[in-house]
Amino acid sequence: MYQRILVPIDGSPTSDHGLEQAIALARLTGGSIRLMHVLDELVFVTGFESGATYANTVLPALRRRSEGILAAGRERVAAAAVPVETLTSECFARRPCDVIVEQAAAWPADLIVLGTHGRRGINRMLLGSDAEQVARLSSVPVLLVRSAADSTPGVTDADPDPVAASVSDATV
C-alpha cells in the first residue's frame, strides 16, 4: 500500500522519531523511503550580510549541514534494510511546507511521514507548524508522528492533539 514514503528530516529528535516510524512502516509494506531535507535559508539571513557572503559562506554551510543530516538518515534506513534515496531542496523565498508538498506530488509519494512537536494554542500561533501545513495542503496522505519527548504537559493519551495524532486521508 505505502510503497513510496517521503520523509522530510531536519536532524532534530522530533524528525528522528518520524523517521523511525517511517522505517517501521516501510519494513511492513516492503516500501522504500526518500529522505528530504529542505534548506530554509531565510531562517539564517539577517539582512546585514552581502550577497557574496551569503553565496560564499551561508549557503555552502547550509548545504554541508544538509548533507550530514541526510547521510545520518540514509545510514539509519539502510541499516534497517529498507531502500533509500535522498534529496536536498532549497526553498528560496518559499515555505518549506510548500516544497515538501510539491516534492510529494512530483515524485510521486504514496505517503508523507514527518515528526511534529504537536504544538497547541499560543505556541502554535507564535511558532507555526510546517507539519500542520503539509497535512492541510498535501494531496498525498500524511502521517504526523508526535515525539514523546515533545508531549505537552497536561495532555494525556485520553486527550490527544487532533492534528499531531491524525493521519490525513489514510489509515495506517
What's the pLDDT at 53? Answer: 60
Nearest one of 40, 27, 43 to 77, comparing CA atoms? 27
Q: Render pLDDT for 83-124 as a digit per residue (tens, 0 to 9).
A: 999 999 987 778 899 999 999 999 999 999 999 876 655 544
- What structural domains does the chain harbor? 4-168 (3.40.50.620)
Exposure b/e, 60-72, CB count within 10 A at least 16 = b: eebeeebeebbee
Residue 12's SS3 state is: coil
Residue-wise pLDDT tens digits, 116-167: 876 655 544 444 578 888 999 999 999 999 876 544 444 444 344 433 333 4
pTM above 0.75? yes
What is the per-residue pLDDT for 149?
57
Is the model's pLDDT at 73 over the cut of 70? Answer: yes
Pick the more confident residue, 26 or 132. Answer: 26
Question: How many C-beta neighbours within 10 Å does residue 127 have?
Answer: 9
